[in-house]
Structure 1
Amino acid sequence: MDALSIERAPFNIGVSIIEPGSARTHFRYARAQLGEPPDEPATAPLPGSVFNPDPCIESPCVAPIFPKSINPIPLAPLLRQTRMDNACSTVHSAAHATAASTLESSSRQCSTGSVMNGKRVTREQVLEASRGMLQQQFYAVFSTPANGMEAVMQNLPEHLEHQCKIERDGILVAAGPHWSDDEQYWDGDGLFIIRATSIEHAKSIAAQDPMHQCGARRFSIRPWLVNEGRLNLSIEFSTGKFTLS
């Protein structure tokens, strides 16, 4: 104990114990006095308010203030029990933390189990997980320069004409160039989304692009399932104008 302070009053004695860490425990008698006990029985202490000095420790500041009619209970065992309770609480909290950490680790393993176990997520699993969404299958064609920008610029008019044709045929969904990271330049690459019945069909469509036929650009294709998104179409009847965003 860092400090032991005793308050004295004619009919009220209080003791405050300040333990390491500034934790405080207060004890107070309902009635007590110095010296010999009175003729009448001493008033019983309030529940939970008994100060329990250790009989093995003689202290002139503590022992004389208790009436002889009161049989004090040793404080040391209670303090030891408090320390044990605190230790058990610490162990209990540590056990909870360990269990939570184990559960979190297990959850991470479950979420990445398909990768850790060498298994791959199937198309059917994705379709089942996104049931009720659009689930429209398209193909994304990534087109990049093969021989610098000169060949790309020379074949650009034919490329745009071809894109407009497959747009009218209902094949092209969307297309356009990719800007540089600073959004100030075009390095000749682009992306277009097409409708096809299979990836082999998509490859045959992409191969007909003049850019790819002459070797100015090369392409790669990835199947793309569209589930989420939104297009806003506004049409003004009075002016015949429309806005797509």
Structure 2
Amino acid sequence: MPQVNEQPLTGGNANAGVVRAGDTVRRPAGPWTPAVHALLDHLHRAGYPAAPRPLGIDEQGREVLTFAPGATVWPERFGLLDPAARLARVARLIREFHDAVADFTPPPDAAWNVLIPPDGDEIIAHHDLAPWNLVVEDATDAWTFIDWDVAGPGTRLWDLSYAVHGFVPLSANPAFRREDRQAAARLRLFADAYGLDDEAQRRALVPLLWERSRGMYDFLAAGHASGRQPWATLWAEGHGDAWHGDAAYAEERAELWTRALLD
């Protein structure tokens, strides 16, 4: 039975057993937890402000993290990121994370919770930088990225392309889809605020805008085929179709994205 002062936390796709206890979050640990805690410890020592701090393992074997007050911006508060200055702030927080993690040396026995095969090992990436993992607290103006359990080897551009998909957003769904010129302008703003200054990197980002979405489609398809949860349920709910549509939407506009990033 959960303790009286524990409150189940809802939201997300894999939050079974996640609770708030006072100013902490308790969640089931996994083989990847020691490596993730080492990463978060490194970010804390580096002064990175937008990540929870690990506080060890409790008596029930659950990982303990500082609680990030506020609410995720997805879906009800997504309009919070409409202003250019706030979208730019997200991009800068991602760049600060990538810079802070650049000199992180994982433990020699690090085991990462790899869901999609990484495109390299330039850094330890978050792999789920998205509006559903950005908590904003209005009173203190604190912004925190949560759910670091799928962090692992990857590249800056792979992490950035996923963030662009969610925050710009680059979506075929009429409920979220931006007019093409607005989406292109927000993509340019995001890349500029991140500090993606190298032309070669900007060109390399463009195909990732659909390849990363297609990777999510393939991952959910595999989860459906194997019956692995919660991915099989997400597939049944239509998330695979959504990622497939987003990949097609982004690829069809490759020339538009290229012009936006380079002109």
TM bin, normalised by shorter chain, reads under 0.3
TM-score normalised by L of structure 2? 0.21
More helix by share: 2
Greater Rg, structure 1 or structure 2?
A: 1
More strand by share: 1
Structure with greater contact order relative to length (CA < 8 Å, sep ≥ 6):
2
TM-score normalised by L of structure 1? 0.22
